[in-house]
Amino acid sequence: MVVSEGYEQHYAPLTSQTVSATLDAAGVRKHINVLDVCTGPGMLAAAVVKREASVLGLDFCKQMIGIAMRNVPKASFLVGDAQSLPFDDGSFDAVVCGYGVIHVAEPQKALSEMRRVLKTGGRVSISVWERPTPMNGVGLLFASIKKHGDLAVPLPDGPDSFQFSQKKKMVGALEETGFKEVTAKIIKQEWELNDARDLEAAIMKGGVRARGLLEAQNRSARIAIANAIELGLKQYFMSDGVYRVPMPAIIGAGTK
Ligand SMILES: C[S@@+](CC[C@H](N)C(=O)[O-])C[C@H]1O[C@@H](n2cnc3c(N)ncnc32)[C@H](O)[C@@H]1O
């Protein structure tokens, strides 16, 4: 399975939970035109269409654009780079970006580009994962690797995935980009898993940096990490037979 399909299968049910709050924060409403940066399988784009606004989804991965076109035939999609948006200044009423800036090589460049293509008075809204804590699934993963493996294994160059993952940091980054009326809020959401092994499986099939981190561990560490994750997940096992793992997001928004 390619990562784009794995992402759609394992992460989309989770990241879909952030969609309406992201659109609300960007003021998405009837008849406006919206850019969805790092659209992935197009969940945000689909919700924009439902609000009767027009939307263009952009992603640098051709396979993702193929999936998004299949999922949201009423939206337009384009292969392109978030760090160099192929649009004139002031082209959009609103710009949204779900869990995208954390994957872009130069996130600050992407934020500046989002601001450039917004009309004056238009609003941007971006989502990221909350930083790892003992109360969330990301924290369980990182604590398990820290205890039984090595968090400092060499990985391909990439941005710090958690650089916007606190409200204060999110507000600072958006204000530094020049946005006004900046807000940041935490959104509670849950990863629903049928089996305790599904968390690691989901990361291996649809993740990028977390998958790299797991792949770089040696065999015995991998086994110990998987066991620690399984054990840690017990606290999230619910009476209806599923695991509900807290995976909060932070949504930051601002006006040009
Ligand atoms: C984690 S997915 C987010 C998908 C979707 N927006 C969501 O809310 O679930 C991140 C997406 O960003 C895309 N991406 C990463 N770097 C990019 C860049 N420089 N320009 C455009 N897209 C990029 C990836 O191909 C991937 O589809």
Q: What is the CATH number of the domain that holds 78?
A: 3.40.50.150
Q: Is the CB of 5 under 6 A from ligand 1?
A: no
Statement: residue 135 has pLDDT above 80: yes
Nearest CA to ligand 1 atom 25: 61
Centre of ligand 1 to C-alpha 101, Å, is 8
Centre of ligand 1 to C-alpha 22, Å, is 15
How far apart, in whole angstroms, are the C-alpha atoms of residue 78 and residue 55? 11
Cα 139 off chain centre by: 16
Q: At 228, list the tokens.
A: 């620690």
Residues above pLDDT 70, as percent of the chain: 98
| Tokens 């930051």 sit on residue | 252
Cα 250 off chain centre by: 10
Q: Is the CB of 45 under 6 A from ligand 1?
A: no
Statement: residue 79 has pLDDT above 90: yes
Q: What is the pLDDT of residue 2?
A: 61
Centre of ligand 1 to C-alpha 234, Å, is 31
The phi and psi torsions of 245 (rounded to 5 degrees) equal -100, 120
How far apart, in whole angstroms, are the C-alpha atoms of residue 98 and residue 17? 11
Statement: residue 11 has pLDDT above 90: no
Q: Is the CB of 64 under 6 A from ligand 1?
A: yes
Mean pLDDT for the stretch of residues 198-209:
81
Give the model confidence (pLDDT) of 28-55 as tens digits. Answer: 999 999 999 999 999 999 999 999 999 9
Give the model confidence (pLDDT) of 83-107 as tens digits. Answer: 999 999 999 999 999 999 999 999 9
Residue 28 burial by CB count (10 A; 0-12/13-18/19+): exposed, middle or buried? buried
Give the model confidence (pLDDT) of 147-185 as tens digits. Answer: 999 999 888 778 888 999 999 999 999 999 999 999 999
Ramachandran quadrant class, 146 (left: phi over 0; alpha: psi -120 to 50; beta: rest): alpha
From the alpha carbon of 22, which atom of ligand 1 is closest?
8
Q: How many domains does the chain have?
A: 1
Amino acid at 243: Y
Q: Mean of the per-residue pLDDT values for the chain? A: 94
Domain span including residue 30: 3-255
Q: Is the CB of 113 under 6 A from ligand 1?
A: no
Q: At a CB cut-off of 8 Å and minimum separation 6, what does 39 contact?
A: 45, 57, 58, 59, 64, 65, 68, 77, 98
